[in-house]
Amino acid sequence: MAFGKDVTENFLKTNGLKLVIRSHEMKEEGYEVEHGGQLVTVFSAPNYCDQMGNKGAFIRLDGKTMTPKYRTFTAVPHPNVKAMQYANPMLSFGM
């Protein structure tokens, strides 16, 4: 992380917010709460790049109180298909 609690606090105050939820930084448990509970990093790719062994996570915010609830999950085996087969229909020929 390239910023401290002071930056988070200033950002929240300036923008009238209570919490920053950010992503795209691998966390071993799938998420991490920092800066006194004001900053959450969530990462939804378990076993990142098939080698990191990390959990994935997502956050649900209660609709009335906006209280975050964290759910973690582990990786499952990949299906036996070529990489990007679903993304590119040209790759499905000859299978």
The pLDDT tens digits along the chain (95 residues) read: 689 999 999 999 999 999 999 999 999 999 999 999 999 999 999 999 889 999 999 999 998 999 999 999 999 988 887 766 767 666 555 55
In this prediction, residue 71 carries a pLDDT of 97
Strands (E), the chain: 20-23, 31-34, 39-42, 56-61, 68-73
Kindly report whether the global pTM for this prediction surpasses the value 0.85. no
pLDDT of residue 80: 83
Domain ranges of the chain: 1-10+26-76
CA proximity to 65, closest of 32, 23, 19: 19
Q: What is the pLDDT of residue 57?
A: 98
- Interatomic CA distance for residues 92 and 95, integer angstroms: 6
pLDDT for position 74: 97
